[in-house]
Amino acid sequence: MQNKLVGTFALLLAAFMANAQAVKLAPVFADAEKQTQLMLKSIDEAKGNKPELVAPRTLENGQLKLVPARDWTSGFFAGELWMLYEFTHKSEWKSKAEAFTAQLEKEKFNGGTHDMGFKIYCSYGTGYNITKDAAYKEVIIQSAKTLSTRFNPVVGCIRSWDHHKEQWGYPVIIDNMMNLELLFAATRLTGDSSFYRIAVSHANTTMKNHFRADYSSYHVVDYDTLTGKVVKRQTHQGYADESAWARGQAWALYGYTMCYRETKNVAYLQQAEHVAAFILHHPNLPADKIPYWDFNAPEIPNEPRDVSAAGVIASGLLELSKYSKNKKEYLSVANTILQNLTKSYRSPIGENKGFILLHSTGSKPAKSEVDVPLNYGDYYYLEALLRQNKK
């Protein structure tokens, strides 16, 4: 009896400690509103007479960089606006979210990219989940149809990049796991299981070919379209082909957690748990749990962090905690990440053109977007905060 009481007390204490670390959302979202108001002004100033530029992506030499709808990051800012509306219920954020979302609609027919989930589901999908707008539903469905045209049944995956054809024949990147959520949503919205089957095939093939024995992930796997066999494995945005690029590990964690939610296939749950174990127990994960841009970067601890990877990891862990026996650990680490992002990685109010977080890394090997704010860092930070509030 005494042992049972001790065990119960320990569980209650652990739960209390995890909850005690949760970020207080009201002041953080109040700050996010102030920054986003500044961002809206910054967008107007930077846009000039270029209507094709629809969303902020990062800062270049201190100046706001805007991108067109075709850019893979174009949907994140609209998603942030939807999340501000979800938390505050203020009509001003809804109207802004609708306006920035509408600028992306033409992408539903863009079959030249695999990034349909990032562009459409993070904008239209986030908006639809809040409003149930029938017009948004139709954009989601058409986008899933377009994305499906990139699926090759011999390979079993959706093609990622069309560029650098001299380097890759049929490249599939770990990031592509994130676009499967759009396909699962389309099956729910239409009853057409073809989207579901493509998503499952992609997840299964990626699980088979993208991961090393320690459950770290390669960035790119190139396939032979005649045989479906792997040609080569690389880590294009990481330190080396055999290194663990931080955001790639984050995409894997988040992606397989989402796949478990949508399918209840325990293999996906186990894969997400394995990836989480690799990340959380890695000797090069800093004490504050904000990863360096690559777990094997040679100059650690004097390497840039990747706050965007931290936000994706926190959001993924919060969802994974709902399904896994490792709930206590996942909640504790997610809370720690969010506490530290909030305390030490946010922009001062009124600075950085309105970005919320600093210190993300896009592609260090390309010397691109190193130690700068990135819109997807802000997006997954807000998403994780909302998930923390709902857990």
71 a known binding residue? Answer: no
Percentages of the chain per state (helix, strand, coil), in multiples of 5: 55, 10, 30
- Residue 363 annotated as part of some ligand binding site: yes
294 annotated among ligand-binding-site residues: no
Query: Alpha-carbon distance 104 to 121, whole Å?
Result: 11
- How far apart are the two ends of the chain, measured CA to CA in Å? 31
**What is the C-alpha separation between 19 and 17, in angstroms, rounded?**
5
| CA–CA separation, 185 and 178 (whole Å) | 12
Report yes or no: 245 and 252 within 8 Å, Cβ to Cβ: no
Active site residue 288: no
CA–CA gap between residue 246 and residue 249 (Å, rounded):
5
Measure the CA–CA gap between 216 and 241, rounded to whole angstroms: 12
Distance CA 136, CA 125 (A): 7
- Check 71, 175, 294, 378 and give the catalytic one: 175
- Per-residue DSSP letter, 347: P
| Residue matched to tokens 């946010």 | 346
* Residue 360 labeled ligand binder: no
Residues near 188 by beta carbon (within 8 Å), at least 6 away in sequence: none
Helix and strand totals (H; E) in the chain: 14, 9
Strand partners, 368: 363
Cα separation, 197 vs 188, in Å, equals 13
Cis peptide bond N-terminal to 301, omega within 30: yes
Is 33 in contact with 17 (CB distance < 8 Å)? no
Catalytic residue among 115, 294, 306, 378: 115
Q: Is 115 annotated as a binding residue?
A: yes
Is 93 a known ligand-binding residue?
A: no
Active site residue 115: yes
* Dist. CA 271–CA 216, nearest whole Å: 11
Cα 386 to Cα 170: distance, rounded to the nearest angstrom: 37
- Count of CB atoms within 10 A of residue 281's CB? 9
Residue 301 vs residues 273, 283, 296: alpha-carbon distances, Å: 26, 12, 11
Catalytic residues: 115, 175
Give the residue ranges of the annotated binding site: 115, 175, 235, 247, 251, 363
Give the residue ranges of the annotated binding site for substrate: 115, 175, 235, 247, 251, 363
